[in-house]
Amino acid sequence: MTQKHDNLIGGQWLAGSNYTPNINPSNLADVIGDYTQASAEQLDAAVQAARAAFPAWSTSGIQARADALDKIGTEILARREELGTLLSREEGKTKAEGIGEATRAGNIFKFFAGECLRLTGEVVPSVRPGIGVEITREPVGVIGIITPWNFPIAIPAWKIAPALAYGNCVVMKPADLVPGCAWALAEIISRSGIPAGVFNLVMGRGSVIGDPLVNHPGVDAISFTGSQGVGSRIAQQCAVNLKKVQLEMGGKNPQVILDDADLAQAVELSVQSAFFSTGQRCTASSRLIVTEGIYPKFIEAMKARMAGLKVGDALAAGIDIGPVSSLSQLEQDMSYVDIGQAEGAVLLAGGERLKLSTDGFFMAPALLTDTTADMRINREEVFGPVASIIRVKGYEEALLEANNTPFGLAAGIATTSLKHATHFKRHSQVGMVMVNLPTAGVDYHVPFGGRKGSSYGSREQGRYAQEFFTIVKTAYTLA
């Protein structure tokens, strides 16, 4: 008998229309628990509960908000090992990565506990004598939060924490594939002292619960992370209803390797950002752009390093890469290996499904060489352990190729040249740029986001989060 997990609506734990099992992708025989699916009526009730809670919460004291967020962060950090293990069990990243993500979630709540106390406004002189002008920030209202499956606790945390810190109420729909961490987080929030209705969890499919959440007249703003296709549709729906919207979407992130790079460092950061977390990171490098002087050595070193990578059960010791999160994602990853080869690419390593001691979605990380920028493998997001190499003559061509994509989330360069590092930081068309570091792996207290087809709306995280989660008011007073 597996444990049943319900929706949190107006402070009550409520069963939905049915339950679906949450399955461990490392071991399909392992059912983590049964998670309910919210009905349309429950979604409506959650929005009504959030609306009812908003007047009191939006005017509550900042100390009460800070205390609640700090309490949530403290509990997450105290339980990071347990929550990280749950995360790895349901999503498939290694246990070390799972614990790292849980730690990040705890730190985010702690950071925004402090942000409650740091919100400022401005008092400026008027151009008209005898008038005072004040510029302040106010909460937006009810925020609908929709999250993807690849960071099942950190992404909910980096949306929920600022929403609550700045006085908003929340209705959250987590990814249907990984409701476990979202439920655990909701349970912690429910005991934090935050009043009933301020935070609500509705679990279920995007088409059943996500779509009506976006279109509900009681929701003032939508913060979404996920694919470009779904994000674009949500933006259109929000535009029709004049709702504030923030979208974080996919990437096709370049990692440039120049002739003067430290070879060992370049290989390590490429393997890390292309394949760790099973390549299931929006910031993963899937295009390795290598200049011709270092190319032969780089290829050989990558092959050798990849031969040493251990794929296995996410919770097992000594594993570098866990399983792909779902069968449909595994099929997509494998299909891109075929698509790349059909386009003329050469498979240097990996790309096959692995049979291990448990029945899971294991795949050997794949590296394709001899690829060109126009190939689908270099234009479309795969979102798995699949990377390709593009050979270029020198830095100028590398920069052109790096920017030759509809996406613009993150980019990296491996070089010992200050001139090229400085130029690349300025001219790569992305939101986040790394020098001699993997494209994946960012701090929790600074802005996160991209440009072009990767992001839409204002930045997430750090104090920049207030742009989305507050509304600016300008007040004039006759002295």
Tell which one of 149, 276, 361, 444 touches ligand NAP (CB under 6 A). 149
Q: Which two tokens stand for residue 459?
A: 């930045």
Binding of residue 381 to ligand NAP (CB under 6 A): yes
Is 282 assigned a catalytic role? yes
Considering CB under 6 A, how many residues would be counted as binding ligand NAP?
Answer: 30
Tell which one of 6, 91, 97, 176 touches ligand NAP (CB under 6 A). 176
Q: How far is the CB of 215 from ligand NAP (least distance, A)?
A: 9
The closest alpha carbon to 115, from 436, 446, 452, 473, belongs to: 446
Q: Are 436 and 426 in contact (CB under 8 A)?
A: no
Q: Are 147 and 175 in contact (CB under 8 A)?
A: yes
Is 138 assigned a catalytic role? no
Q: How far is the CB of 237 from ligand NAP (least distance, A)?
A: 8
Task: Report d(CA 146, CA 209) in Å as an integer.
Answer: 10
Among the listed residues 90, 248, 380, 381, the single catalytic one is 248
Judged by CB under 6 A, which stretch of 15-23, 105-113, 143-151, 347-355 contacts ligand NAP? 143-151
Tell which one of 50, 245, 282, 375 touches ligand NAP (CB under 6 A). 282
Task: Report d(CA 120, CA 300) in Å as an integer.
Answer: 54
Look up tokens 């029709």; give the residue.
240
Whole-angstrom CA distances from 209 to 131, 183, 202, 457 are 48, 16, 8, 23
366: Cβ–Cβ under 8 A, 6 or more apart, which residues?
333, 337, 347, 349, 350, 351, 385, 386, 387
Binding of residue 146 to ligand NAP (CB under 6 A): yes
63: Cβ–Cβ under 8 A, 6 or more apart, which residues?
116, 117
Smaller CB separation from ligand NAP, 25 or 312: 25
Smaller CB separation from ligand NAP, 202 or 258: 202
Residues 348-367 that bind ligand NAP (CB under 6 A): none
Task: Report d(CA 79, CA 230) in Å as an integer.
Answer: 33
Q: Where are the alpha helices (DSSP H) in 135-262?
A: 154-165, 179-190, 211-215, 228-240
Write down how long the chain is.
479
Binding of residue 380 to ligand NAP (CB under 6 A): no
Tell which one of 24, 27, 39, 147 touches ligand NAP (CB under 6 A). 147
Q: How far is the CB of 369 from ligand NAP (least distance, A)?
A: 24
DSSP letter for 195, please: P
Residues 453-472 that bind ligand NAP (CB under 6 A): 454
Q: How far is the CB of 120 from ligand NAP (least distance, A)?
A: 27
305: Cα separation from own chain's centroid: 27
Q: Reading across the β-sheet that carries 18-24, which strands appear in turn?
A: 4-5, 27-37, 18-24
Binding of residue 100 to ligand NAP (CB under 6 A): no
- Exposed e or buried b per residue across 231-257, where buried means at least 16 C-beta atoms within 10 angstroms of its C-beta: beebbeebeeeebbbbbbbbbbbbbbb
Among the listed residues 90, 115, 282, 380, the single catalytic one is 282
Q: Give 350's Cβ-side CA count (13 Å radius).
A: 32
Q: How far is the CB of 428 from ligand NAP (least distance, A)?
A: 16
Q: Are 87 and 101 in contact (CB under 8 A)?
A: yes
Q: How far is the CB of 159 from ligand NAP (least distance, A)?
A: 10
Q: How far is the CB of 151 from ligand NAP (least distance, A)?
A: 6
Smaller CB separation from ligand NAP, 57 or 275: 275
Residues 191-230 that bind ligand NAP (CB under 6 A): 205-207, 210-211, 214, 225-227, 230
Smaller CB separation from ligand NAP, 66 or 214: 214
Q: Are 361 and 323 in contact (CB under 8 A)?
A: yes
Tell which one of 151, 166, 336, 456 touches ligand NAP (CB under 6 A). 151
Q: Are 93 and 314 in contact (CB under 8 A)?
A: yes
Smaller CB separation from ligand NAP, 153 or 249: 249
158: Cα separation from own chain's centroid: 9
Q: How far is the CB of 128 from ligand NAP (least distance, A)?
A: 44
Binding of residue 66 to ligand NAP (CB under 6 A): no
Mark 228-267 with x for binding to ligand NAP (rule: CB under 6 A) and - for no binding.
--x---x-------------xxxx----------------
Catalytic (active-site) positions? 248, 282
Q: Which residue ranges make up the site for ligand NAP (CB under 6 A)?
A: 146-151, 173, 175-177, 205-207, 210-211, 214, 225-227, 230, 234, 248-251, 282, 381, 383, 409, 454
